[in-house]
């Protein structure tokens, strides 16, 4: 019997008498011994029938006991690994992050990082330095669209001074705009006569020439041109990036994730399957295949997505499709019911934003893909985008009727929602996923730009409490690497948002555990600590139910256990 102490440099707070150890060994003769026993600390199970426990036993990756210290003794044998916790340790079901971008966050295929907080001159200096290295496409990220627009210079001409022969594409910090040079425009195939693609806008100057500023789908197409049909070296960088991100994920106690944008034309699926085959997959992973809005042969795309559907493995599932309904507010592409109060001068056809997919087209995809088994994961930020996404889901339900499975479609971001649409999340069983880890989501932190664009509408930004009170299934996620990966900061902020805060810590933990498991259609396996469920467990260095709220975000993961295996230990 091994007695493990997760943190050997901390003072021992609880000791097990020798007599109890002897009793444990003798009792084990009559019962099947567990592989692992976790005891002491504070165990919060998320099981309403038994919310607290003192010990857990695990056998072959499955929880076989949850209860008191005396009851667990019979599960301890000579080969049982016993993890004795400290009284400050807090044990919870494995944390879920149902919206993040791990492969993109870790990959170095987009390698030229510009400092968002600097000005255009600094960015150009950085890009010029990057251009001295390598050849082919120069890809970067980090500029801020507001700064570029306020600068007033010709964007495409500024990059052309760096190179007219090497295509350059720099992604905006939110990923919803791309700054390119003339060679990149040529590679994509954009000319002044090219119509805007669905969900995108090709920026033009007053003289009708292309400005080099591409919004939403148009910007995505620049990176598709550079990264589709990947080379062996590119795929290796993506794989290494995925492994880096998996390391960060387990460090934060996250045991289940949903990759919110799997660009299958870039070979991203290969990286995930390789990680599984090589034994490097340390989180249950649900992959959301990207729906390409510029591909207008919708039936062909449905067929392609259907061919990638895979629910054969609980550790790696390809069971979601990710799409955007709209853009974002800071570049005025989020779909709003009422006009923006300010024109940024980017030349959009509407003052109410844009749609990646029309409501009828989105309805087609939802109705066809849910029959295959996919859950939809829909980006919707503006109140019109949310309304139309809910309409599409409701119409698909009318079309398909009972398809033999419960629908668990999910809308994400949800920054602006009409009050009349709030109850529809419960009525339609649509999961409400939000991200509040960024400081900008806290009261008093709304940007001046957002205020100028939307006025009083910002008072109901991210109406999390309204959704919770309307009985919506609420999940919280990171959108990493847009925001911090830490679920502990997300929990803390969810309790600091004034009248839009979650009501209590239990609700915050539910959003990261059992609700996340429900969203990913795995609540029968994980999400709570119950006998018969898989042993996905997170151990934290403080009691998240009792420490001051301001200290919740400082929490550190002591141990992360996935399917009974320790994948991280502090």
Pick the last residue of a domain from 226, 259, 287.
226
| pLDDT tens profile 62-71 | 999 999 999 9
Q: What is the CATH number of the domain that holds 76?
A: 2.30.40.10
pLDDT, position 497: 96
Structure token digits, residue 384: 């019109």
The reply to whether 180 and 222 lie within a common domain is yes
Q: What is the CATH number of the domain that holds 366?
A: 3.20.20.140
**Does pLDDT of 447 surpass 80?**
yes
H-helix or E-strand spanning residue 468: helix 464-469
Please report, rounded to a whole number, the percentage of residues in the chain having pLDDT higher than 70: 95
SS3 annotation, 146-166 = HHHHHHCCCHHHHHHCCCCCC
Structure token digits, residue 284: 């249950």
The reply to whether 222 and 234 lie within a common domain is no
**Does pLDDT of 465 surpass 60?**
yes
The reply to whether 203 and 334 lie within a common domain is no
The reply to whether 517 and 478 lie within a common domain is yes
Structure token digits, residue 528: 């709570």
DSSP state of 482: S
- Cα separation of 273 and 536, whole Å? 21
pLDDT, position 18: 34
Q: Report if residue 156 sits inside a domain.
A: yes
- Pairing of β 200-204 and β 138-143: unpaired
Residues 6 or more apart in contact with residue 279 via CB below 8 angstroms: none
**Does pLDDT of 133 surpass 60?**
yes
Work out the pLDDT band at 31, boundaries 50, 70, 90.
low
The reply to whether 374 and 508 lie within a common domain is yes
CA distances from 106 to 78, 429, 447, 486 (A): 42, 33, 28, 16
Residue whose tokens read 């033999």: 404
Q: What is the CATH number of the domain that holds 189?
A: 3.10.310.70
**Does pLDDT of 342 surpass 90?**
yes
The reply to whether 155 and 260 lie within a common domain is no
Structure token digits, residue 175: 């990923």
Q: Report if residue 513 sits inside a domain.
A: yes
**Does pLDDT of 195 surpass 90?**
yes
Q: Report if residue 11 sits inside a domain.
A: yes
Please state, rounded to an integer, the average pLDDT across all residues of the chain. 93
pLDDT, position 196: 97
| pLDDT tens profile 293-312 | 999 999 999 999 999 999 99
State which residues form the domain around 469: 96-102+230-527
Query: Three-state DSSP class for 111?
Result: coil
Work out the pLDDT band at 469, boundaries 50, 70, 90.
very high
- Cα separation of 241 and 142, whole Å? 18
Q: What is the pTM of this model?
A: 0.93
Pick the last residue of a domain from 203, 226, 249.
226
- Cα separation of 240 and 260, whole Å? 19
**Does pLDDT of 17 surpass 80?**
no
**Does pLDDT of 486 surpass 80?**
yes
What does the DSSP assignment read for 271-289?
Answer: HHHHHHHTT---SEEEEEE
Q: Report if residue 563 sits inside a domain.
A: no
The reply to whether 406 and 461 lie within a common domain is yes
Work out the pLDDT band at 445, boundaries 50, 70, 90.
confident
| pLDDT tens profile 241-250 | 999 999 999 9
Per-residue pLDDT, averaged over 75-100, amounts to 97
Q: Report if residue 126 sits inside a domain.
A: yes
**Does pLDDT of 190 surpass 90?**
yes
Q: Report if residue 284 sits inside a domain.
A: yes
Q: Report if residue 243 sits inside a domain.
A: yes
**Does pLDDT of 13 surpass 70?**
no
Residues 6 or more apart in contact with residue 120 via CB below 8 angstroms: 143, 147, 148, 151, 153, 158
The reply to whether 286 and 338 lie within a common domain is yes
- Cα separation of 40 and 86, whole Å? 7
Helices 505-512 and 487-494, axial angle in degrees (round to 10): 140
The reply to whether 74 and 174 lie within a common domain is no
Q: Report if residue 109 sits inside a domain.
A: no
Per-residue pLDDT, averaged over 522-529, amounts to 98
Work out the pLDDT band at 10, boundaries 50, 70, 90.
very low
Residue whose tokens read 């029968």: 524
Work out how many domains the chain is built from and give that number.
3
253-262, 340-349, 399-408, 494-503, range with the lowest pLDDT: 399-408
Per-residue pLDDT, averaged over 372-395, amounts to 98
Helices 359-372 and 298-308, axial angle in degrees (round to 10): 30
The reply to whether 76 and 147 lie within a common domain is no
The reply to whether 56 and 162 lie within a common domain is no
Please report, rounded to a whole number, the percentage of residues in the chain having pLDDT higher than 90: 90
The reply to whether 158 and 284 lie within a common domain is no
Query: Three-state DSSP class for 25?
Result: helix
Residues 6 or more apart in contact with residue 414 via CB below 8 angstroms: 380, 381, 386, 432, 433, 434, 462, 463, 467
pLDDT, position 448: 86
**Does pLDDT of 22 surpass 90?**
no
């Amino acid at each position: 019997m091994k007695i493990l102490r997760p943190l050997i440099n901390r003072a021992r707070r609880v000791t097990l008498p020798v007599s109890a150890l002897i009793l444990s060994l003798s009792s084990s003769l009559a019962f099947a011994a567990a592989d692992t026993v976790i005891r002491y600390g504070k165990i919060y199970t998320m099981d309403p029938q038994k919310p607290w426990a003192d010990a857990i036993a695990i056998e072959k990756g499955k929880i076989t006991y949850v209860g008191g210290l005396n009851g667990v003794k019979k599960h301890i044998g000579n080969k049982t690994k016993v993890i004795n916790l400290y009284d400050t340790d807090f044990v919870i079901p494995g944390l879920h992050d149902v919206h993040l971008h791990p492969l993109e966050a870790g990959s170095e295929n987009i390698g030229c990082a510009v400092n968002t907080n600097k000005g255009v001159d600094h960015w150009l200096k950085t890009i010029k330095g990057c251009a001295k290295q390598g050849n082919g496409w120069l890809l970067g990220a980090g500029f801020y669209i507001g700064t570029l627009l306020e600068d007033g210079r010709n964007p495409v001409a500024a990059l052309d001074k760096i190179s007219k022969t090497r295509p350059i594409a720099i992604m905006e910090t939110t990923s919803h705009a791309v700054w390119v040079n003339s060679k990149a425009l040529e590679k994509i195939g954009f000319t002044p006569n090219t119509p805007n693609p669905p969900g995108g806008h090709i920026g033009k100057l007053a003289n009708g020439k292309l400005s080099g500023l591409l919004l939403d789908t148009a910007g995505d197409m620049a990176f598709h041109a550079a990264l589709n049909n990947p080379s062996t070296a590119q795929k290796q960088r993506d794989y290494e990036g995925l492994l880096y991100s998996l390391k960060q994920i387990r460090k934060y106690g996250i045991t289940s994730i949903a990759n919110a944008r799997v660009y299958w034309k870039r070979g991203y699926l290969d990286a995930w399957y390789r990680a599984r085959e090589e034994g490097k997959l340390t989180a249950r992973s649900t992959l959301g295949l990207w729906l390409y809005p510029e591909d207008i042969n919708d039936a062909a795309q449905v067929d392609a997505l259907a061919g990638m559907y895979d629910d054969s493995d609980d550790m790696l599932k390809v069971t979601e499709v990710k799409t955007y309904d709209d853009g974002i507010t800071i570049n005025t592409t989020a779909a709003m019911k009422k006009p923006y109060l300010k024109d940024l001068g980017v030349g959009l056809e509407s003052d109410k934003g844009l749609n990646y997919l029309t409501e009828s087209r989105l309805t087609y995809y939802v109705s066809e893909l849910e029959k295959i088994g996919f859950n939809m994961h829909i980006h919707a930020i503006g109140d019109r985008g949310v309304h139309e996404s809910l309409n599409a889901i409701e119409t698909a339900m009318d079309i398909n009727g009972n398809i033999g499975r419960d629908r668990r479609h999910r809308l994400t971001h949800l920054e602006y929602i009409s009050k009349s649409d709030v109850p529809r999340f419960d009525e339609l069983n649509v999961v409400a996923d939000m991200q509040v880890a960024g400081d900008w989501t806290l009261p008093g932190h709304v940007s001046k730009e957002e205020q100028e664009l939307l006025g009083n509408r910002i008072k109901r930004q991210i109406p999390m409490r309204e959704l919770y009170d309307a009985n919506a299934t609420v999940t919280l996620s990171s959108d990493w690497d847009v925001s911090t990966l830490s679920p502990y900061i997300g929990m803390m902020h969810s309790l600091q948002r004034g009248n839009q805060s979650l009501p209590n810590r239990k609700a915050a933990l539910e959003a990261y555990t059992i609700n996340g498991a429900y969203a990913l259609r795995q609540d029968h396996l994980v999400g709570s600590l119950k006998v018969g469920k898989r042993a996905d467990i997170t151990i934290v260095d403080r009691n998240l139910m009792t420490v001051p709220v301001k200290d919740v975000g400082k929490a550190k993961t002591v141990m992360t256990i996935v399917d009974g295996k320790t994948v991280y230990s502090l």
